[in-house]
Amino acid sequence: MKNKVVVITGASSGIGRALAKEFAAKGARLSLGARRTELLEQLRQELHETEILIVKTDVSSEDDCRNLIDGTVKHFGQIDILINNAGISMRALFEEVDTKVIRQLMDVNFYGTVYCSKFALPHLLKTKGSLVGVISIAGYVGLPGRTGYSASKFAIRGFLDTVRIENLKKGLHVLVAAPGFTASEVRKAALTNDGSQQGETPRDESKMMSSEECARHIVRAIGKRKRELILTFTEGKLTVFLGKFFPALLDKLTYSHMAKEPNSPFK
């Protein structure tokens, strides 16, 4: 990763912030995009020996995504790795949710990935670089109470798998990384049925994989140019396995597991 130019969206917290630190430790040069640039500035101070470009980016804006990629190429001259990490979640029954919430999930999670990937693709083809999407196990199994979230993550997986096939003979590496439940701010900022933020997590964050461990796995998978990364055994690999061979059983297990959350919207 020495001197590689790495673009990371959603870099102000959670997995994105941990990825920035992991790549910095390996000598990469970073272009960091997020809405909260004050947190990116704090990160730049912390990683003062790393060359870092900060670009204020709302990935739901096509112009912002274009600006992030164009600014990176103007500053560094190339892009070796793009990590589409920015994302938001939700927690509400589809029966009760305002459709604007579903639209917002798709705008940020799916279209943010599409926009950044579209503008970065010509540069990644030049370097035979890596295009990465951070999805979730929710991109393999529908999570009740999170229709928009699962839909957006399924969409990202289908989109990136197709981009991989289209560029099969051009040297492009495409990785779809699916963490299980990972300690981050994503659940606190999750949207409720009216679009307001949840404000607190319904799960015990201390029992989850840390963002730092997740980042190490993702960086290692990029180095090995893997096509898929599914993290954690029970919530990750086992879930995907059951989905393939015992889908009806997985439906029941998923319902039971998610219904145990405090203040679950269903029982």
- Here the CATH number for the domain that contains residue 164 is 3.40.50.720
Let me know if residue 239 belongs to a domain: yes
Q: Which range marks the domain in which residue 180 is found?
A: 5-259
Are residues 103 and 93 in contact, defined by beta-carbon separation less than 8 angstroms? no
Let me know if residue 266 belongs to a domain: no
Are residues 8 and 219 in contact, defined by beta-carbon separation less than 8 angstroms? no
Which carries the bigger pLDDT value, residue 110 or residue 255?
Answer: 110
Let me know if residue 255 belongs to a domain: yes
Let me know if residue 267 belongs to a domain: no
Averaged pLDDT, 188-195: 79
pTM for the predicted model, two decimal places? 0.89
As for how many domains the chain has, the answer is 1
Let me know if residue 174 belongs to a domain: yes
Let me know if residue 183 belongs to a domain: yes
201 pLDDT band (50/70/90 cuts)?
low
Let me know if residue 149 belongs to a domain: yes
**What is the residue-averaged pLDDT of the chain?**
91
Q: Which residues are catalytic?
A: 149
* Cα–Cα distance measured from residue 239 to residue 60, given in angstroms and rounded to the nearest whole number: 30
Query: E-strand spans in the chain?
Result: 5-9, 29-34, 52-56, 81-84, 130-134, 173-178, 228-230
Q: What percentage of the chain has pLDDT greater than the value 70?
A: 94
Which carries the bigger pLDDT value, residue 22 or residue 209?
Answer: 22
Q: Pull the structure tokens for residue 35.
A: 């809405």
Averaged pLDDT, 222-226: 97
Is 27's pLDDT higher than 80? yes
Q: What percentage of the chain has pLDDT greater than the value 90?
A: 72
Let me know if residue 11 belongs to a domain: yes
